[in-house]
Amino acid sequence: MTDNSSNQKVIVFDPELCTGCRYCEVVCSFKHYGCIDLSKSYVRILFNGDEGTGAFEAVNCQHCEEPICVSACPSEALEKDERTGWVKINPLKCIGCQMCVYLCPLSVPFFDEERKAAVKCDFCDGDPECVRHCSPAALRVVTREEALQLNKRLYLGIR
Amino acid sequence: MTGVDIVNLLEKGMADKSVKCSVTEERRVSVEIKADDLKEGISILLEACKPRFITLSAVDNGLDVELMYHFSVDSIVVTLRTSIPKETSQVETMTDIVPAAEFIEREVSELFGISFEGHPRTTNLVLPDDWPAEEKPLSKPFAGNLPPQARGEVENLLSSGCAQVILEYFTEMRERAGLPKLPSIACASEESLREFQELIRRTGFDKRAGFDWEKSKLRYR
């Protein structure tokens, strides 16, 4: 990880804090589509059926260091901003082939039938709505370095 | 952190304000606070406990709308209650310190007619766009729990100590009959009127009836 990328901001999700209110989905769809439609949210909360903490998991864009969606795009509609690290889709360039949807390990981009283009998290230009409105602070903006530490602790048990 | 700790924290942080904190039951803390101090109370709670904002609920009790901001601190539900008089129906928004309150404040604003000053968006969220602005679906009529026919009498009783207005004609008739001008009830002397009004205050009847002592009349008349 380079110095520049380790200081870039990413969104992390802490399943121990999530209450499953799905407010992040509400505000995301409201910000980007002007309506409350959870299926149009760029962040998605999954329920694994367990009880207690850890029952929820968020699917949100990690703005990868080497994004596979960018390399998969045949029309160069996806671009990674080297300075901020955000991966964004240019809807005017997108031809709707859905390669990014299939190749993303988390299936973060999804195909918007109305726009006939793939859409994904754009980090709300630095102040993500989902993070702002997450009352239990399960979604947080941290640096990539901190995110790596947190995810190692959460998913691999490394402290 | 326990409920008693939260009560101590708020009482200490807002010692100069009138705040009533109590642990109503296990894992529940109730805080009665004035609308002007609400933001300060929430800020103290946010800084010290990092609570999770649960929701905002509103109850229309006829004369006032009670707003309740619910927070969760280590599985303890802390409720900050404030009463908004319907004459003004205005309160400062909390969205700048609690962004998650944005949608629910809009909902309360639309359904109860409370205006949240400084709210970033004020267009309709749950009601249709063409809904008449003056119609608030969950707002009750602005009136206390007195039946309409008793309102005039209660107003007279609380302001003068008499249930009925004593007309000049009656005072003349009483004088002619050799009686004192006024009957020997509360309204006859300032001292007994004060005592009577103090009694009314202590029983809380004035608040339930919605009596305004400054104007000497009911708030909704």
- Does A152 score more than 70 pLDDT? yes
**CB contacts < 8 A (A, B):** 19
Could you tell me where the DSSP H helices lie in chain A? 3-6, 23-33, 68-72, 99-103, 129-133, 144-151
Closest alpha carbon within chain B to A20: B54
The CATH number, out of the four listed (3.30.70.20, 3.40.640.10, 3.30.930.10, 3.40.50.2300), of the domain defined by the range A62-120: 3.30.70.20
Q: What is the mean predicted confidence (pLDDT) over B142-167? A: 80
Helices B151-160 & B190-203, crossing angle to 10 degrees? 130
Residue A140, SS3? strand
Q: Nearest-CA distance from B121 to chain A in Å?
A: 12
Domains of chain B: 3-117 (3.30.460.80), 148-218 (no CATH)
pLDDT of residue A53: 64
CB atoms A137 and B50 under 8 Å: yes
Partner A contacted by B207 (CB < 8 A): no
Neighbouring CB atoms inside 10 A of A76's CB total: 10
pLDDT digits (tens, 9 = 90+) for B11-57: 999 888 888 999 998 899 999 999 999 999 999 999 998 899 999 99
CB atoms A135 and B100 under 8 Å: yes
Closest CA to B101 of B77, B69, B138, B126: B69
Closest alpha carbon within chain B to A129: B99
Looking at chain B, the whole-number percentage of residues with pLDDT higher than 90 is 46
Partner B contacted by A26 (CB < 8 A): yes
Measured CA distances, B204 to A125, B106, B199, B216 (Å): 54, 33, 9, 16
- Does B186 score more than 60 pLDDT? no
CB atoms B103 and A26 under 8 Å: yes
- Rounded Cα distance, B3 and B61, in Å: 28
Beta bridge partner(s), residue A119 = A110
Partner A contacted by B105 (CB < 8 A): no
Burial class (CB in 10 A: 0-12, 13-18, 19+), B111: middle
Mutate to test the interface with B, among A133, A134, A140 (most CBs of B within 10 A): A133
Q: Chain B contacts of A26, Cβ < 8 Å?
A: 103
In this structure, are residues A11 and A131 in contact, taking their beta carbons and an 8 Å threshold? yes
Q: Chain B contacts of A137, Cβ < 8 Å?
A: 50, 52
Q: What ranges make up the beta strands (E) of chain A?
A: 9-13, 44-47, 56-59, 78-80, 87-89, 110-112, 117-119, 139-143
DSSP letters of B132-148? Answer: -TT--TTPPPS--SS-G
For β-strands B90-92 and B76-85, DSSP reports them as unpaired
**B188 secondary structure, DSSP code:** G
Of B50, B54, B99, the CB nearest to A133: B99
The CATH number, out of the four listed (3.40.1710.10, 3.30.70.20, 3.40.50.880, 3.40.50.1220), of the domain defined by the range A10-60+121-159: 3.30.70.20
In this structure, are residues B84 and B114 in contact, taking their beta carbons and an 8 Å threshold? yes
ipTM, two decimals, is: 0.72
Partner B contacted by A27 (CB < 8 A): yes
